A and B are shown apart, each in its own frame.
Chain A
Amino acid sequence: MRGSLRALAALALAGWLVLPVFPLAIWSVAHGWRFPDLLPAETSGAAWAYALSPQSGVLQSFGVTTLIAAATTLIAALIGLPAGRALGLHRFPGRNLVFLLLLAPAIVPGIAVVFGLHGILLRLGLAGTIPGVILAHLVPVLPYMTLVLAAVFSRFDPAFEQQARSLGAAPWQAFRTVTLPAILPGLMTAALFSFLVSWSQYLLTLAVGGGRVQTLPLVLFSFVSAGRNDLAGAIALLYILPGLLILAVTARRITGRGAALTEGLRP
């Protein structure tokens, strides 16, 4: 009974996640697909051929999006590690205020701040550049990174570091050999979240990039609004690729025994 329930739940979840992908996949190879046909009358590889060709710029966008997401994640980790450590290990005046400010990007709608942000980056000469977009992406990404790492560090015993120091490890050595292995599952969770949050930014990229930084969601949207369902389907499949890849590689680490996700987020 429990087994069959579980199987049903798994099926439902899989359906929920996978079913929306099917129309995209079909669109990407359809050559005219009209209501009320269940399947397109003819198929064609033209959309894929164009999407993967240099002329469309899709692959280039894929590269730019990856670069921005990776750089954003890396910078967020460099900021989030010390910040999460301070928040997780120490009680200090103003700690709750810091938490509140960190949560702010999740509470305040992006569109409310994006023009102010654009103005600042314009003055800095960073509007319309990749570094500018990375800076803008840090706004929604940093809270994820820092809050997850704060939870991870709150369960880390800094006595391990002191032990390492007293056995002759310099600060960097102690971090690399003792702290990093202990926090790695949580750090990976935070990095995955960060990567995907940056990867799926539309509004911030559009406003700050000013059309000059073409990430995948922007390209996708432009084809969607142009009514090119075949290209939109192909690009959308490319777009969900990293999420699926990450999920496939880390599913066990994230949800299984000793999982990174539960490990990192347990109070």
Chain B
Amino acid sequence: MTRLTLHGLRKSYPGRGHAAVHGLDLTVERGSLTALLGPSGCGKTTTMKLIAGLITPDAGEVRLDDADITLLPPERRGVAMVFQNPLLFPHMTIAQNVGFGLKMRHLPPAEIARSVDAMLARVRLDGFGDRSPVALSGGQQQRVALARALVLQPKVLLLDEPLSSLDPGLRDEMRQLIRSLQQDTKVTTIVVTHDQAEAVALSDHIGLMLDGRLAQHGPPETFYDRPATEAVARFFGGVNFLEGRSERGFFHSGLGSLALPDHAPQGPALLTFRPEAMRLGPGPNLRTGRIDAVTFLGTQTRITLSVAGVALQALAAPDAARALKAGDELTISLPPDVLWLLPTG
């Protein structure tokens, strides 16, 4: 197991105004699965290519444990990358594809065949070895691509949007396969994704990248409970933001004074709370407003309401919201422990 450390990583492309990655610091612990999450164009894929050695950074370091691999060519890093497209070599069979890296290491053919068979069984493609890549479905091709990387027992495994080319039905299956293979092999893994639900379901840690920088890094739940900035909160579906001032345990804003949790920081701040954390009905920090719209979303119902001229959104179980309709008065409460203060600006 290997720890991967990125330190001050910076990369810009000529002709583009801003750097693709600027000043990225990230540590991926030994044997963990970290999701590198962010909107498209935030520098995720560039970061992966920097780790894989396919491009060289303008500044900064890539380290595996204590070894600086920043300038090492890709084939000597022990970092295997699986791309968004399976990229199976079309002129080789499935077995030759999976055995490709072992062949590059000049291992004896019998040993390669053994490893390839075992690996194909792990991704539930036993007996597919002699087929051509074109004879496989997209999901099967992606599993071959995964097998082709894992059979090398890399120090670090990089998966670039491994689920994005798959049908929704196959994604769940592939996600579970990735998770179980990672837990069996304990290979330090980074998965790039733009889908926060995918990142949450798949990983031990999430690194959220916004505009080429690491905006927040930690276990998935911290992005919901304790977002670092407004941008992080918005990326994870945050919709309720109130400007105001925190003083002696109360937040003064357009909603009047709301009781804050203990040890809340003092001074000007941006208050946020999850739409699903707003309680319908009486409780602490009680307020009354008028419903603007009720939208049924399937597993949840979204309620848009105005409280003292402030627009808020709540997400409730459909049963609890069944009787509500636009124009109704609604009493809500905001328990102090769901309130979270963000720095302003």
Residues in A lying within 8 Å of B, measured CB to CB? 157, 159-160, 162-171, 173, 177-178, 181-182
Among A157, A169, A173, which residue has the most Cβ atoms of chain B within 10 A? A169
Partner of B91, one of A162, A163, A165, A181: A181
Question: Can you sample 10 A-B contacts with CB below 8 Å?
Answer: A163-B81, A165-B74, A166-B52, A166-B149, A167-B149, A168-B75, A168-B80, A168-B101, A168-B152, A169-B101
Taken together as a complex, chains A and B put the C-alpha atoms of A162 and B74 apart, in Å, by 9
A49 to B280 CA separation, bound complex (whole angstroms): 108
Interchain residue pairs A-B with the least CB separation, the first 9: A167-B101, A166-B81, A165-B74, A168-B104, A181-B91, A168-B101, A163-B87, A169-B104, A168-B75
| CA–CA, A157 and B74, complex, Å | 18
CB-defined interface of B47-84 with A at 8 Å, one 1/0 digit per residue?
00100111000000000000000000111000111010
Q: Is the CB of A160 within 8 A of B87?
A: yes
Assess the A167–B148 pair: CB atoms within 8 A.
Answer: yes
Are A159 and B87 in contact, with the CB atoms below 8 A?
yes
Complex: chain B residue closest to A174, CB-CB: B75
Contacts of B149 in A (CB 8 A): 166-167
B100 within 8 A of A: yes
Which B residues fall within an 8 A CB radius of A? 49, 52-54, 73-75, 79-81, 83, 85, 87, 89-91, 100-101, 104-105, 148-149, 152, 158
Contacting residues, chain A, for B81 (C-beta < 8 A): 162-163, 166
CA distance A182 to B92 in the complex (A): 11
* Residues of chain A contacted by B148 (CB below 8 angstroms): 167
Write out the residue numbers on chain B whose beta carbons fall within 8 Å of the beta carbon of A181.
89, 91
Minimum C-beta distance from A199 to chain B (A): 30
Query: With A167-B80, A173-B104, A177-B100 in contact, is A159–B75 under 8 Å at CB?
Result: no
Evaluate contact between A169 and B75: CB separation under 8 angstroms. yes
8 Å CB contact of A159 from B53, B79, B85, B105: B85
Judge whether B85 and A167 touch: CB under 8 Å: no
B222–chain A nearest beta-carbon distance, Å: 31
Q: Which residue of A lies closest to B54 (CB)?
A: A162
Shortest Cβ distance from B77 into A: residue: A166
How far apart are B157's CB and chain A's nearest CB, in angstroms?
10
User: How many Å lie between the Cα of A266 and that of B101 in the bound state?
Assistant: 33
Contact B54 A166 (CB under 8 A): yes
Q: Which residues of B contact A173 (CB under 8 A)?
A: 75, 104
Instruction: Tell me whether chain B's interface is mostly helix, strand or loop, or mixed.
Output: mixed
Q: Which chain A residues lie closer than 8 Å to B53 at the CB level?
A: 165-166
Cβ distance A161 to chain B, nearest Cβ, rounded Å: 9
Work out how many contacts link A and B, with CB atoms closer than 8 A: 64
16 extra A-B contacts, CB within 8 A, seeds A165-B73, A171-B73: A159-B87, A162-B81, A163-B87, A164-B89, A165-B53, A166-B149, A167-B75, A167-B104, A167-B148, A167-B149, A168-B75, A168-B104, A168-B105, A169-B101, A170-B73, A182-B91
Provide the bound-state CA to CA distance between A58 and B256, in Å.
105
Shortest Cβ gap from A167 to chain B (Å): 4
Q: Which of B74, B91, B105 contacts A166 (CB 8 A)?
A: B74
Q: A165–B152 Cα gap in the complex (Å)?
A: 13
Q: Which residue of B lies closest to A167 (CB)?
A: B101
Complex: A126 Cα to B129 Cα, angstroms: 56
Residues of A within 8 A of B74 (CB): 162, 165-166
Quick one: which of B54, B87, B148 has the most chain A CB within 10 A? Answer: B87
Q: Which residue of A lies closest to B87 (CB)?
A: A163
User: Closest residue to A169 on the B side, CB-wise?
Assistant: B104
- The minimal Cβ–Cβ distance linking A145 to chain B, given in whole angstroms, is 23
- The contact of A160 among B52, B79, B89, B105, by CB within 8 Å, is B89
Nearest Cβ in chain A — how far from B317, in angstroms? 45
B48 to chain A: closest residue by CB: A166
A157 neighbours in B (Cβ, 8 Å): 87
Question: What chain A residues lie within 8 Å of B105 (beta carbons)?
Answer: 168
Q: Shortest Cβ distance from B188 into chain A, in angstroms?
A: 15
Among B79, B81, B158, residue most surrounded by chain A Cβ atoms (within 10 Å): B81
Cα separation A157 to B83 with both chains bound (whole Å): 13
Q: How far is the CB of B148 from chain A (nearest CB, A)?
A: 7
- Which residues of the partner chain B approach A168 to less than 8 Å between Cβ atoms? 75, 80, 101, 104-105, 152
Contact of B152 among A159, A162, A167 (CB under 8 A): A167
- Enumerate chain A residues within 8 angstroms of B83, measured Cβ to Cβ: 159, 162-163
Task: Check B91 against A170 for contact (C-beta < 8 Å).
Answer: no
Are B79 and A164 in touch, CB under 8 angstroms? no
- Across-interface contacts of A167 in B (CB, < 8 A): 75, 80, 100-101, 104, 148-149, 152
A173 to B102, CA, bound (A): 13
Q: Looking at the assembled complex, report how far the CB atom of B91 sits from the nearest CB atom of chain A, in whole angstroms.
A: 4
Instruction: Tell me the minimal C-beta distance from A99 to chain B in angstroms.
Output: 21
Q: How far apart are the CA atoms of A167 and B87 in the complex, in Å?
A: 12
Which chain B residue lies CB-closest to A173?
B104
Q: How distant is the Cα of A164 from the Cα of B152 in the complex, in angstroms?
A: 13
Chain A residues contacting B49 (CB-CB under 8 Å) are 162
Contact across chains for B54 and A165 when beta carbons are under 8 A apart = yes
Q: Which among B73, B91, B100, B158 is the interface contact of A164 at CB below 8 angstroms?
A: B100
